[in-house]
Amino acid sequence: MQLTRRDALALGGAALSLAALPMRALAATDMVGEAITAFTGGADVGERGITLTAPEIAENGNTVPIEVDAPGAAAIMVLAAGNPNPDVGTFNFGPLAASQFASTRIRLAGTQDVIAIAKMADGSFVRASQEVKVTIGGCGG
């Protein structure tokens, strides 16, 4: 293969735009896919039966309250898709748990999707996600 000058320029442009993207974000995208695959074993993921509650716009990106509720779940995994390390945690519910509900606060590096995936007692999986915006704010009124 012979590189023409135009190809070289185009490649240069592509390299430049790749460099402009934060490497951590690229890495995180991979890590989200890997974490989901590790949790679900690649099974199909439905959407009914799980509720994720998070603010649309974070008041403070350093401590964002979220809640997950998936009646009948054995475990719920929470991911922050845009964080350098997207793994927030996995809540496991024993057979005697009265409800399959958890709330916590997470730190978000910027505007991103928060994802919750529940493993149900029958081995099926359901998923909910919501974009949480982290804004500099200050001009409403």
Partner 1 sequence: MISRRDFLQAAMAASAIYGGSAFGNWSRLAAQQAMTQDDLLSFDTSGNVTLIHITDIHAQLVPTWFREPEINLGVGEALGQPPHITGTDFLRRYGIEANSALQYALSYPDFSALARQYGRMGGADRIATVVKAIRADRPDALLLDGGDTWQGSLTALRTQGQDMVNVFNALGTDAMTSHWEFTLGLDRVTDIVDNHLQFPFLGANIFDAEWDEPAYEPYQMFERGGVQVAVIGQAFPYMPIANPGYMFPGLSFGVRQERMAEVVAEARAAGAEAVVVLSHNGFDVDRKLAANVPGIDVILTGHTHDALPEPLLVGKTHLIASGSHGKFVSRLDLDVRDGEVKGVNHKLIPIFSDVIAPDSEMTALVEAERAPFKDELTEVLGRTDGLLYRRGNFNGTWDDLICDALLEEREADIALSPGFRWGASVLPDQDITREDLMNATAMSYPEAYRSEMTGELLHTILEDVADNLFNPDPYYQQGGDMVRVGGMGYRIDINQPQGSRITEMTLLKTGERIDPTKTYVVAGWASVNPEVEGPPIWDVVEAHIRRQGTVSVSPNDSVQVVTG
Between 37 and 135, CB nearer to partner 1: 135
Q: Closest distance between partner 1 and the C-beta of residue 62, in Å?
A: 12
What are the residue ranges of helices labelled H in 21-50? 23-40
Could you give the CA distance from residue 118 to residue 7 in angstroms, rounded to a whole number?
A: 47
Nearer to partner 1, 49 or 65 (CB): 65
* Beta carbons of 126 and 50 less than 8 angstroms apart: yes
For partner 1, the closer CB: 31 or 69: 69
Residue 56 is a binding residue for partner 1 (CB under 8 A): yes
Question: What's phi and psi for 19, nearest 5 deg?
Answer: -65, -30
Site string for partner 1, 107-126 (x = CB under 8 A): ----x---------------
141 contacts partner 1 (rule: CB under 8 A): yes
Q: How far apart, in Å, are the Cα atoms of 82 and each of 26, 30, 88, 112?
A: 9, 11, 11, 5
Out of 24, 25, 40, 55, the residue judged to bind partner 1 by CB under 8 A: 55
Place of tokens 């493993």: 119
Binding site for partner 1 (CB under 8 A): 53, 55-57, 59-60, 65, 103, 111, 131, 133, 135-141
